[in-house]
Amino acid sequence: MLSKEDNELLTRVDRGSPMGELLRRFWTPALISEELPTPDCNPVSLRLMGEDLVCFRDSNGSIGILDAYCPHRRVNLFYGRNEECGIRCVYHGWKFDVAGNCIDMPSEPEKTNFKNKVKLTSYPTFERGGIIYVYMGPVGLKPELPDLEWAYLPEARRTATKRLQENNWVQAVEGGIDSSHISFLHNRSIGQVVNEKSPIPRNKYHAQDRHPVFEIEEVDYGLRVAARRNADPGKFYWRITQYLFPYYTIIPPVGDFETSEGQPYAGHAWVPIDNENTWTWSFGVNPTRDYTKEEREFAGGQNGMWGPIDENYHPLQNSRNNYLIDRDVQRTQTFTGISGIPNQDAAVQESMGPIIDRSKERLGTSDAAVIKFRKCLIQLAKDLTEGKEPLAASRGHLYNVRSVSILLDDDVAFSDGAKNLFLGGNIKSAAE
Ligand code: FES
Ligand SMILES: [Fe+2]
């Protein structure tokens, strides 16, 4: 439970709000490179943290992310012409480069220097690993880019996609670190005897122990959320999710968990569009080998595991069609009757309303990670209002981590038993 004041502080992302300012201290995933595929391609509209932006790749390949509204009479530059190293407003022809400088003002007499006095807000960008990031914070405080493992892998070993989620970003992150819902929301074996020889052994443990014990470790970059389940005699099954300030979670691998090293895994980022909408990013990571064509389509395609989505990354299963819930399937096969893990997550999280009233919640022991996450984030935002900058923003190398799922003897602490598995294979960071 949170007070109404803390709930406001946690969830509001507008410029000038404590959390909005905190988020603006970090690089923010803005676009997938495929959205701006070539020089002078079509511009793209983007809304982040309540700000309307226009994005374009100029004739030299440089990326501009600018205030969407032309400073002349406030036309949206999305309708503009992306040509000869700038975007030109279609109303009276004013043209802006990627830095927001007005470089042509054909509607004014040639002699005037008015164009030199006009500038449009432009945000720094960075493209790495198929993702375009933007920095929307104060000039002079530009952070380090997070050294996420997937950002350094060759294209053949990573995937990235995103989808619209119609609720506040915090309740989406809370879903990402809430390991206890796996046994319910995503359960696909209603009415079946658990298969002891399941190729995915974790399914057995999730089904047979539905109230994991949480241990949460605070680290410089965020949290390690460890969910412990009873496994075979003398053993615990640990599922350790990483939360990285402020947007990211890394999901433990699925397969043979004796060692997580080298297995494909997935990560998420939850990026606020505004107070009531979120981009849910999903990353597929295959550190040791290339994806096959089928695996790539499943991990990243429009109709893959994060879909189905349309060409604007909007999910086809959504609240307008009740996520295509099938009540027969719900009775006999799966817990929800809704197909697709991301659709199941979206259904429950969007059903809470755009912003949960956290003063009305009744939290239990399985909500330990959610409670800790809120506390940490609120503290960072309050610290910033008192002038203390977030450490993780200036420590990109901290982000080179993986999540772990592992079976350990019941007298071994997860922080010991899994300690060699947390570091990612990012070569740059390893060399530092
Ligand atoms: S409104 Fe853009 S040039 Fe006039
Ligand atoms: Fe989930």
Report which bound ligand comes closest to the CA of 78.
Answer: 1
Instruction: Check if the beta carbon of residue 240 is closer than 8 Å to that of residue 404.
Output: yes
pLDDT in tens, 317-355: 999 999 999 999 999 999 999 999 999 999 999 999 999
pLDDT in tens, 405-428: 888 999 999 989 888 888 887 654
Residues 152 and 133: their CA atoms lie apart, in Å, by 14
Rg from Cα positions in the chain: 23
**Whether pLDDT at 306 is above 90:** no
What letter would DSSP give residue 428? H
Calculate how far, in angstroms, residue 291's C-alpha sits from the geometric centre of ligand 2.
24
Give me the residue spans of the domains in the chain: 28-134, 149-431
Residue 297's pLDDT band (cuts 50, 70, 90): confident
Calculate how far, in angstroms, residue 337's C-alpha sits from the geometric centre of ligand 2.
14
Q: What percent of the chain has pLDDT over 70?
A: 93
Report which bound ligand comes closest to the CA of 344.
Answer: 2
- pLDDT score recorded for residue 351: 98
Q: How far apart are the first and last CA of the chain?
A: 42
Ligand 1 neighbours by CB, cut-off 6 Å: 70, 72-73, 75, 89, 91-94
Report which bound ligand comes closest to the CA of 174.
Answer: 2
Q: Do domains 28-134 and 149-431 have the same CATH topology?
A: no
- pLDDT score recorded for residue 432: 40
Residues 356 and 182: their CA atoms lie apart, in Å, by 21
- pLDDT score recorded for residue 298: 83
Sign of CA pseudo-dihedral 86, 281, 48, 166: positive
Instruction: Check if the beta carbon of residue 43 is closer than 8 Å to that of residue 80.
Output: yes
Closest C-alpha residue for ligand 1 atom 1: 73
pTM: 0.93
- pLDDT score recorded for residue 260: 53
Q: Which residues pair with 109 in a beta bridge?
A: none
**Whether pLDDT at 115 is above 50:** yes
171 in helix, strand or coil? helix
Residues 294 and 306: their CA atoms lie apart, in Å, by 14
**Whether pLDDT at 194 is above 70:** no
Residue 303's pLDDT band (cuts 50, 70, 90): confident
Residues 23 and 49: their CA atoms lie apart, in Å, by 9
Instruction: Check if the beta carbon of residue 271 is closer than 8 Å to that of residue 131.
Output: no
- pLDDT score recorded for residue 192: 52
Of the candidate CATH numbers 3.40.50.80, 2.130.10.10, 2.102.10.10, 3.40.50.720, the domain formed by 28-134 belongs to 2.102.10.10
- Overall average pLDDT of the 156-179 stretch: 95
pLDDT in tens, 35-68: 999 999 999 999 999 999 999 999 999 999 999 9
Torsional class of 103: left (φ above 0), alpha (ψ -120 to 50), beta (otherwise): alpha
Calculate how far, in angstroms, residue 99's C-alpha sits from the geometric centre of ligand 1.
18
Calculate how far, in angstroms, residue 129's C-alpha sits from the geometric centre of ligand 1.
35
Ligand 1 pocket mutation pick from 67, 69, 75 by most atoms within 8 angstroms of CB: 75
Closest C-alpha residue for ligand 1 atom 3: 92
Report which bound ligand comes closest to the CA of 187.
Answer: 2
Q: What percent of the chain has pLDDT over 90?
A: 74
pLDDT in tens, 348-379: 999 999 999 999 999 999 899 999 999 999 99
Say how many C-beta atoms besides its own lie within 10 A of residue 359's C-beta: 12
Residues 273 and 57: their CA atoms lie apart, in Å, by 21
- pLDDT score recorded for residue 255: 58
Ligand 1 pocket mutation pick from 54, 76, 78, 92 by most atoms within 8 angstroms of CB: 92
pLDDT in tens, 199-228: 556 667 777 777 889 999 999 999 999 999
Determine the CATH number of domain 149-431: 3.90.380.10
